[in-house]
C-alpha cells in the first residue's frame, strides 16, 4: 500500500543530511561542521548526574539554562527561546510566522534548512543570490522585502560558503527592514568569526525588537549529539510563538544539564577557537598551494571549487555540467576510499564545490594528502 501524503509533505524537500553515521563510518568525518574535540569531563559529569532523574520529564521552562543565558547575555528570560537544537527554533519560527501569501527572504546558497520553511508553510521563498565574493548581498535582500515579507534570514558566517559580513553592514540592513518583519540572524558559527566580537550583535536587540539571534551548542560547544540551541530575541513575541507551535519538553534533561555546564567553560571555547583558526590558516595555505581558491573563511569549515570547476557554475552548458558533476562525484569517491568524508557542493546548491570542516591537525593532513592524490587522478576539467 502506498500512503496518500498531504500536499504539504509533497512540497517539503528532504533534508540533504551528510553520510557517515552508519556502521561503516569513515574515520575522518569532516562533513557536518562538528567540533573534533570530545565533550569536557565536567560536561560528562553533569550528564551523569542528570541521568539519575531520567524517570522524570525535563524542566519544561529550562530554568537553569535560561538563567545562565540571562546572566551571560543580559537578555530578559522571556526574550530567550530554547530548542532541541537551533533548527527546532528556526522551524518553529517558520511555522509561527509564515503561511500561504507570506514571504521569507534569505540568501542562496545558504543553510539547507531554510527552503523547508516556505515549503512547510506554503509561503513563498525569495532566494537572493550571494554576491561575487560569496557574501550576502544585503542591498539586494532589502530590495526584496515587500508587504508580504514576514521573515528575513541572514546567516553570518554563512553555511556553506564560510564567509561573513561585518556587523556594521548588518546594522545598516536592520534600519531598512520594517519593524514588524522578523529578522533572524543565524549565528551558529559566530564564535569562529574574527570580524566582530561574537557577542557584539546582542547590543542590536535593544534597538530592534524584531531581531532574533539564533545560537547553538552544536558547534564550538561540541554538543550536537544532544541537540540544544537557543535564540536571543528583541521582544518576547517570538519565544512565546515558538512555544505555542512546539510540543512541550522540547529540550531533553541531558541537553539542559550539559549546556549549563558547557557555558561555564568559556576558557575552553576560546582555546577551541584558537586551535580552529590555526587549522584554518594552515589549510587555507595548503589549498592555495594546490592551486585552489578557498573562500575567506570566518567559520570552522572551508569552501572551494574543485580543480577544473569554474567559479560561476550557474551558466554552464549541458556538457560542462556533466563534467562538473563527474569531478565532484569522483573526488568524493576518491576521498571516501581514503577514509575521508566531506560535503559535496552539489547537495548544497553549488555543484563542483566542497565544504570541508576543519578537524584535528591529523585529520586535516589526512584530508589534504587524500585531496592531492585524488586531484591528480581526476584530471582536467572545464
Ligand X SMILES: Cc1ncc(COP(=O)(O)O)c(C=O)c1O
Residues that bind ligand X (CB under 6 A): 33, 85-87, 111, 155, 159, 186, 188, 216, 218, 224, 229
How many whole angstroms separate alpha carbon 296 and alpha carbon 304?
A: 10
CA 248 to chain centre: 25
**Contact yes or no for 247/60 (Cβ under 8 A):** no
Instruction: Give min distance, CB of 376 to ligand X, in A.
Output: 31
Of the pair 190, 309, the CB lying nearest ligand X is at 190
How many whole angstroms separate alpha carbon 263 and alpha carbon 35?
A: 16
Residue nearest to ligand X (CB): 85
Of the pair 33, 307, the CB lying nearest ligand X is at 33
Of the pair 36, 229, the CB lying nearest ligand X is at 229
The set of residues, in sequence order, having a beta carbon less than 8 Å from that of 34 and lying 6+ positions away, is 218, 219, 222, 224, 357
The set of residues, in sequence order, having a beta carbon less than 8 Å from that of 3 and lying 6+ positions away, is none
Instruction: Give min distance, CB of 322 to ligand X, in A.
Output: 29
Strand partners, 305: 353
**Contact yes or no for 33/147 (Cβ under 8 A):** no
Instruction: Give min distance, CB of 152 to ligand X, in A.
Output: 15
Instruction: Give min distance, CB of 35 to ligand X, in A.
Output: 12
Of the pair 65, 323, the CB lying nearest ligand X is at 65
Instruction: Give min distance, CB of 105 to ligand X, in A.
Output: 16
Of the pair 16, 74, the CB lying nearest ligand X is at 16
Instruction: Give min distance, CB of 310 to ligand X, in A.
Output: 26
Of the pair 161, 364, the CB lying nearest ligand X is at 161
Instruction: Identify each DSSP E strand in the chain by its residue range.
Output: 28-29, 80-83, 103-108, 124-129, 149-155, 182-186, 211-216, 229-233, 301-305, 340-341, 343-344, 353-357
Amino acid at each position: 500500500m502506498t500512503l496518500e501524503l498531504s500536499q504539504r509533505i509533497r512540497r517539503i524537500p528532504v533534508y540533504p543530511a551528510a553520510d557517515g553515521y552508519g556502521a561503516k563510518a569513515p574515520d575522518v568525518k569532516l562533513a557536518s561542521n562538528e567540533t573534533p574535540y570530545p565533550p569536557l569531563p565536567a560536561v560528562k559529569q553533569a550528564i551523569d548526574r542528570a541521568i539519575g532523574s531520567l524517570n522524570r520529564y525535563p524542566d519544561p521552562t529550562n530554568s537553569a539554562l535560561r538563567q545562565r543565558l540571562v546572566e551571560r547575555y543580559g537578555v530578559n528570560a522571556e526574550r530567550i527561546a530554547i530548542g532541541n537544537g537551533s533548527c527546532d527554533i528556526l522551524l518553529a519560527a517558520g511555522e509561527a510566522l509564515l503561511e500561504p501569501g507570506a514571504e521569507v527572504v534569505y540568501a542562496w546558497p545558504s543553510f539547507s534548512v531554510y527552503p523547508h520553511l516556505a515549503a512547510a508553510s506554503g509561503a513563498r521563498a525569495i532566494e537572493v543570490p550571494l554576491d561575487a565574493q560569496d557574501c550576502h548581498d544585503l542591498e539586494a535582500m532589502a530590495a526584496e522585502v515587500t508587504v508580504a515579507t514576514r521573515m528575513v534570514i541572514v546567516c553570518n558566517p554563512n553555511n556553506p560558503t564560510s564567509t561573513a559580513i561585518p556587523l556594521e553592514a548588518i546594522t545598516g540592513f536592520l534600519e531598512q527592514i520594517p519593524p514588524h518583519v522578523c529578522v533572524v540572524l543565524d549565528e551558529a558559527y559566530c564564535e569562529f568569526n574574527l570580524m566582530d566580537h561574537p557577542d557584539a550583535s546582542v547590543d542590536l536587540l535593544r534597538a530592534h525588537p524584531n531581531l532574533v539571534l539564533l545560537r547553538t551548542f552544536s558547534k564550538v560547544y561540541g554538543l550536537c549529539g544532544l541537540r540544544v540551541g537557543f535564540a536571543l530575541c528583541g521582544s518576547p513575541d517570538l519565544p512565546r510563538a515558538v512555544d505555542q507551535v512546539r510540543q512541550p519538553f522540547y529540550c531533553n534533561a541531558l541537553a539542559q544539564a550539559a549546556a549549563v555546564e558547557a557555558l561555564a567553560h568559556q576558557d575552553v571555547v576560546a582555546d577551541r577557537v584558537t586551535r580552529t583558526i590555526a587549522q584554518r590558516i594552515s589549510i587555507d595555505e595548503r589549498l592555495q598551494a594546490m592551486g585552489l581558491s578557498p573562500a575567506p573563511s570566518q567559520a570552522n569549515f572551508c569552501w572551494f571549487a574543485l580543480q577544473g570547476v569554474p567559479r560561476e557554475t550557474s551558466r554552464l552548458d549541458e556538457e560542462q555540467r556533466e563534467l562538473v558533476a563527474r569531478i565532484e562525484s569522483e573526488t568524493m569517491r576518491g576521498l571516501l576510499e581514503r577514509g575521508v568524508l566531506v560535503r559535496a557542493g552539489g547537495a548544497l546548491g553549488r555543484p563542483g564545490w566542497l565544504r570541508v570542516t576543519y578537524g584535528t591537525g591529523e585529520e586535516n593532513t589526512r584530508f589534504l594528502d587524500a585531496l592531492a592524490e585524488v586531484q591528480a587522478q581526476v584530471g582536467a576539467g572545464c
